């Protein structure tokens, strides 16, 4: 029996291959690079010997598909879940302010968090409560072009609530600013984050590098179940016969037979891997025009420990989130190691490394003061194609998983999952394609070994 071929070893491809392997369906995963992982990988910094990620990836406990995936591959214990959901911010005037959600039934936990936080004035707390009620009942109409900012304006949110709370959330969840992000997608994501139960709102932070969390255990699981992961495999196209996809072509000239194919590649690559007739028909032609949004991460090392918190949202500065890598990853040795993130970083991605490090240090000093001395070492990571832009006019361009060929499926966080381009969306998409492929091969959709 020919295998189900999964093209692309990012999180969608790994999730699809793991799901199929759990049903003992033969799988061949083809990855163009030397190692799987896609946009979620880690590497060793040669100067410090520290394992660092290509970008900080934070989960929430309510990401049920991702947690299920981690449980299947035996990596669930490698994320630390907050016992009580809490977001800590630093406001330029109010200082450190906690937004803590007590373990109460939804939506009481969100309402209690609003009432007790020092982040808002009394008037703004009333506005936030109004937004919390609207979050449960709002039904933005698809295709209206409503942005998060216009939705918040319709709820009477003040410039301060938008700056202090909604903007940090939007850039973290959507990788877009309020004036650009889709309200429909944002509301859907926040309902998962804040209305799926108090415990589901907790941050789930990886305690190891992304290779150790996702890539290595997923690969080991696939191979343990009899599947094959083949790297440095440059797929150039596919072959269709009799109304079905019959093979995958590699750059070296090899054609691999298949029972089904899941294309789990970035939006700008997908159309080029379709069979000739399907590509020429215009299917997926709009995928390559989906705009992308960059993320910049700056890793900074210091002689001493400069940040007592694990995670901090920074209000009103150029940087948005700071992660204490020394604490989160339980790094050994002395000194401090911070990872600073700038999402929706179009204005920053073209800057020189020294300038980005200077910006990060200036903004950190505005929070922590003179304790932030000169960095002993800095690493700048640019993901110019980090995610698709989740703008209102992009949603109609995101394709579904099903194609005109009954055994060809499309996976990826950029497809029409209804969610932002998050890890949860990537895993959800891969698992959905696995369900579809399993239905063709006689597997039990949704089953697990």
pLDDT digits (tens, 9 = 90+) for 193-240: 877 777 888 999 999 999 999 999 999 999 999 999 999 999 999 999
Q: Burial of 419 by CB count in 10 Å (0-12 exposed, 13-18 middle, 19+ buried)? A: buried
Question: What token pair was written down for 66?
Answer: 């991702």
| pLDDT attached to residue 448 | 37
Sheet with 203-206, strands from edge to edge, namely 59-60, 203-206, 79-81
Rg of the Cα atoms in the chain:
22
* CA–CA gap between residue 161 and residue 130 (Å, rounded): 12
Go through the domains of the chain in sequence order and give each one's CATH number: 4-46+51-55+209-290+391-441 (3.50.50.60), 86-201 (no CATH), 292-388 (3.90.660.20)
Looking at the chain, the number of H-run helices and the number of E-run strands are 15, 20
Sites in the chain below the pLDDT cut of 70: 138-144, 442-449
Please answer whether residues 173 and 58 qualify as being in contact, where contact means their C-beta atoms are separated by less than 8 angstroms.
no
* CA–CA gap between residue 25 and residue 18 (Å, rounded): 10
* CA–CA gap between residue 21 and residue 214 (Å, rounded): 16
* CA–CA gap between residue 361 and residue 369 (Å, rounded): 10
Instruction: Map residue 162 onto helix, strand or coil.
Output: helix
| pLDDT attached to residue 449 | 34
Instruction: Please report the sign of the dihedral spanned by the C-alpha atoms of residue 316, residue 319, residue 325, residue 328.
Output: positive
Other beta carbons less than 10 A from residue 202's beta carbon: 22
pLDDT digits (tens, 9 = 90+) for 374-398: 999 999 999 999 999 999 999 999 9
- How many whole angstroms from its chain centre is CA 428? 12
**Max CA separation in the chain (angstroms):** 70
Q: What are phi and psi of 118, to 5 degrees?
A: -95, 10
Q: Burial of 395 by CB count in 10 Å (0-12 exposed, 13-18 middle, 19+ buried)? A: middle
Peptide bond into 107 cis (omega under 30): yes
| pLDDT attached to residue 74 | 98
Q: Which residues are within 8 A (CB) of 265 and not within 5 positions of it... i.e. 6 or more apart?
A: 7, 8, 10, 273, 412
Sheet with 228-230, strands from edge to edge, namely 228-230, 27-30, 4-7, 260-263, 408-410
Helices (H), 225-272: 267-270
Other beta carbons less than 10 A from residue 439's beta carbon: 12
CA dihedral 142, 187, 348, 398 (to 10 degrees): -40
Residue where the block lists tokens 């600013």: 177
Please answer whether residues 437 and 447 qualify as being in contact, where contact means their C-beta atoms are separated by less than 8 angstroms.
no
Other beta carbons less than 10 A from residue 354's beta carbon: 10
């Amino acid at each position: 029996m020919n295998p189900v071929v999964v093209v692309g070893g990012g999180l969608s491809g790994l999730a699809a291959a793991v799901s199929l392997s759990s049903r003992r369906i033969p799988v061949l995963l083809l990855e163009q690079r030397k190692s799987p992982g896609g946009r979620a990988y880690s590497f060793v910094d040669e100067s410090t010997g520290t394992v660092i990620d290509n970008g900080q990836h934070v989960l929430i406990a309510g990401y049920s598909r991702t947690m299920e995936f981690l449980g299947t591959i035996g990596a669930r214990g490698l994320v630390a879940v907050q016992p009580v959901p809490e977001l800590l911010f630093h406001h330029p005037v109010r200082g450190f302010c906690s937004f803590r959600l007590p373990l109460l039934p939804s939506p009481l936990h969100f309402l209690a968090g609003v009432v007790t936080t020092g982040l808002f004035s009394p008037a703004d707390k009333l506005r936030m409560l109004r937004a919390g009620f609207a979050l449960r009942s709002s039904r933005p109409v698809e295709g209206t072009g409503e942005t998060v900012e216009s939705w918040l304006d319709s709820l009477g949110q003040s410039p301060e609530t938008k700056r202090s709370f909604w903007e940090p959330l939007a850039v973290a969840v959507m990788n877009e600013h309020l004036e650009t992000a889709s309200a429909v997608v944002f509301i859907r994501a926040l309902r998962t984050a804040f209305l799926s139960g108090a415990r589901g709102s907790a941050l789930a932070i990886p305690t190891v590098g992304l290779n150790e969390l996702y890539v290595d255990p997923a690969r080991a699981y696939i191979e343990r179940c009899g599947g094959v992961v083949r790297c440095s495999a440059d797929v150039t196209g596919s072959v269709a016969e009799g109304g079905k996809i019959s093979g995958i072509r590699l750059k070296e000239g090899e054609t691999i037979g298949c029972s089904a194919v899941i294309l789990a590649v970035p939006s700008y690559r997908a159309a080029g891997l379709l069979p000739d007739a399907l590509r020429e028909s215009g299917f997926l032609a709009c995928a390559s025009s989906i705009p992308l949004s960059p993320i910049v991460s700056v890793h900074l090392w210091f002689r001493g420990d400069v940040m007592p918190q694990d995670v901090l949202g920074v209000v009103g500065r150029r940087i948005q989130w700071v992660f204490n890598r020394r604490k989160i990853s339980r790094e050994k040795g002395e000194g401090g190691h911070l990872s600073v993130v700038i999402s929706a970083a179009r204005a920053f991605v073209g800057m020189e490394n020294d300038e980005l490090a200077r910006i990060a240090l200036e903004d950190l000093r505005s929070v922590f003061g003179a304790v932030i001395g000169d960095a002993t070492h800095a690493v700048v990571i640019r993901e110019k194609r980090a995610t698709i832009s989740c703008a209102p006019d992009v949603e109609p361009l995101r394709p579904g998983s099903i194609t005109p060929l009954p055994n060809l499926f499309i996976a990826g966080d950029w497809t029409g999952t209804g969610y932002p381009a998050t890890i949860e969306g990537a895993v959800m998409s891969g698992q959905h394609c696995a369900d579809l492929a399993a239905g063709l091969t006689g597997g039990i959709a949704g089953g697990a070994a």
